[in-house]
Amino acid sequence: MSMATSRLVALWNHPAGPKTIHFWAPTFKWGISIANIADFSKPPEKLSYPQQIAVTATGLIWSRYSTVITPKNWNLFSVNVAMACTGIYQLSRKVMHDYSSENILEKQA
């Protein structure tokens, strides 16, 4: 029991642990993916191409770089993979909506 407590204490006091910004900043990055998932139910006309492209691009670039830094940061990797996935999904929703046959006909009318 004391071994488990001392490991918890060690984690708590870790230089990149929950008392530090090195923990909370990357942890909060999940908020962006969660916000995007909440926006899955928004109508595609309300989505912003620039914002979703930015979400996707930063997600992809940071996913790559989190595997080439030392040490590899799988926490950073996973949060950025999730961001890229939500961005790609939102972009596909908007593109499919804007380029569906009814919409193209409407725009030509």
Partner 1 sequence: MSAWRKFLNSPVGPKTTHFWGPVANWGFVVAGLVDTQRPPEIISGNMTSAMCVYSALFMRFAWMVQPRNYLLLSCHAANESVQLYQLSRWAAANGYLGDKEPVTDGQTPTAPPVKA
Q: Which residues bind partner 1 (CB under 8 A)?
A: 20-22, 24-26, 28-29, 31-32, 34-36, 38-39, 42-43, 45-48, 50-51, 53-55, 57-58, 61-62, 65, 68-69
Structure letter (DSSP) for residue 41: G
Q: Which is nearer to partner 1, 5 or 45 (CB)?
A: 45
Task: Please state the closest distance from residue 77 (CB atom) to partner 1, in A.
Answer: 12
Rounded CA-CA distance 97/29 in Å is: 28
Task: Please state the closest distance from residue 93 (CB atom) to partner 1, in A.
Answer: 13
Q: Which is nearer to partner 1, 21 or 105 (CB)?
A: 21
Count of CA atoms in the C-beta half-sphere (13 A) of 92: 6
CA distances from 35 to 46, 61, 63, 86 (A): 14, 20, 19, 10
Say whether the peptide bond before residue 71 is cis (omega within 30 degrees of 0). Answer: yes
Task: Please state the closest distance from residue 87 (CB atom) to partner 1, in A.
Answer: 11
Rounded CA-CA distance 17/107 in Å is: 53
Task: Please state the closest distance from residue 74 (CB atom) to partner 1, in A.
Answer: 16
Q: Which is nearer to partner 1, 7 or 19 (CB)?
A: 19
